[in-house]
Structure 1
């Protein structure tokens, strides 16, 4: 398991390497009350993933062969960015479903990139094969203690910035981000896991009593499309009693549009998934309950400003 001491140590390592992203309390979105938001899509490479990548690379001795990572797109970009910043070669494996926008973002880092057929699980198999062959160090996207501790610095930072909410809504793919949040918060605040109905590894695991494979599809699949929830996340979810809700693709797209119309924040579907739980009614706060939403990804496809 990952604990608060691990996250404190990660925060020390990350000082000067990641962006202290802003927070805002925003009205609108068809909701009765304002919502606290942390705008983590303004992080390096457009997602929280840089936190876990930098924490991993700063905590260990990286071999001469460099690093290797499998990704639906966002983790690969963050791992490649962190590797370049720290002077290490990077080899990134992504599935075709990552899409041209995220693939282009990874290429911009100068990393060696291999696009494979299939989904994230296929890219992970290829990355593991490369790791065994080359001696490169694997940076797991979500199910590794250093990754989770790095992601946990986000919620630690948010509390330093004055988080007031009783409840924090967080989108879930493989579970690294919400695992970091649960590790830091414990049961001091309520954490709600929000997943697309068509990519719901944590929800399925909680229903089954253990991690299980799920089918993956939908508008957010290239960011939230893990076939199986991470063991670290599942353990923390059971320990803290996390609440799990599902949202439809249409609700995610509507929340994307609402973020743009209301506050000119352009985000990818995964970045709007937590908000979709509120705007669709999948999560209804109790009377007087103060709610916060983590906005976590900006790598929209197609890139509206691509040449």
Structure 2
């Protein structure tokens, strides 16, 4: 599994020459009552302010820095955010990038990919279809494959965000994390281990971890719904499975309606324009799916902001 030493080494590499690219995003501490929550404090890790608009930049840059990059460049399949992060890292390092996205990927994310200079291929109905096409293309070109969530470098990169939280505020009592393929929660749980309670959150219509736990191993799951472009992996990653089995007790499901309500609340009340995947932690609190104690310090990972602003109207 990803170790805390690997995460620390990754953050040192970022600090050593890429501090302009990987930002130390703010940790915003608010009293629970400011968010309508009966707890001592709610911390918001504003990772939607990261390069590329999501936490994915950490893992993708780490993947590229950790491996030789051939002349054919890098290649990735993505619902959007991992592709944007890979394209941004590739531009930073001056290498070419090819991104395969499914038809459900948002126009806003496709536009951002083009802006970053990536070659974009739209194929298949869902992420799994784009991944299949991406893997076939990688065999032809020999490009370095970056996986959206299931590579050690990707988890270690995501874990640097958790390390930053501890540096900025100490240990929270609990950390609420959105789950798709599991790269984010795999990295976060690998850093906090059981020193903080890490809670996995998924849409009811994309329950990869929940179904894996029912089956005793990762299994294919039908995915759809409001957050499918970000949390639309049909199977939990093997590395995330190991990390969550070791360190994550709670895996909770949330309705699309509660996610949408939380997304709009974040915009209207806090002026945080974030995509649905970033709203699951607040949805868990507002819906009562996660009930913190009165003295609890709860950290919400606000993981991404690649959305069409018109969707918040």
TM-score bin (small chain): over 0.9
Matched residues in 1 for 2:227 and 2:60: separation?
21
> Which residue is 2:35 aligned to?
29
Match of 2:197 among 163, 171, 190: 190
Superposed CA deviations along residues 83-142 of structure 1, whole A, max 9, x for unmatched, are: 011011000000010110111111110111100121000110111011100010100010
- Alignment of 1:304 onto 2:310: yes
Contact kept, 8 Å, 1:169 with 1:194, in 2: the verdict is: yes
Calculate the TM-score normalised by the size of structure 1. 0.96
Find the residue that maps to 2:106 and give its secondary structure: helix
| 1:99 equivalent in structure 2 | 106
Partner of 2:8: 8
CA distance in 2, matches of 1:117, 1:68: 17
Q: How far is the alpha carbon of 1:164 from its aligned partner?
A: 4.4
Q: How many residues align?
A: 304
Is residue 19 of structure 1 aligned with residue 23 of structure 2? yes
Aligned partner of 1:250 in structure 2 is 257
TM-fit CA distance, 1:303: 3.6
Aligned twin of 1:269: 276
Residue in 2 that maps onto 1:58: 65
Q: What is the CA deviation profile of residues 142-184 of structure 1, one whole-angstrom value per residue up to 9, with x for unaligned ones?
A: 0000011011000001111114420000000100011001111
Q: 5 Å matches for 1:1-307?
A: 1-15=1-15, 16=19, 17-27=21-31, 28-33=34-39, 34-300=41-307, 302-304=308-310
| 3-state SS, counterpart of residue 107 of structure 1 | helix
CA contact (8 A) 2:53 2:306 kept: yes
Which secondary structure does the structure 2 equivalent of 1:195 belong to?
strand
Contact 2:75 2:143 (8 Å CA) reproduced = yes
Q: Is 2:186–2:239's contact at 8 Å kept on the other side of the alignment?
A: yes
Give 5+ residue unaligned stretches, structure 1: none
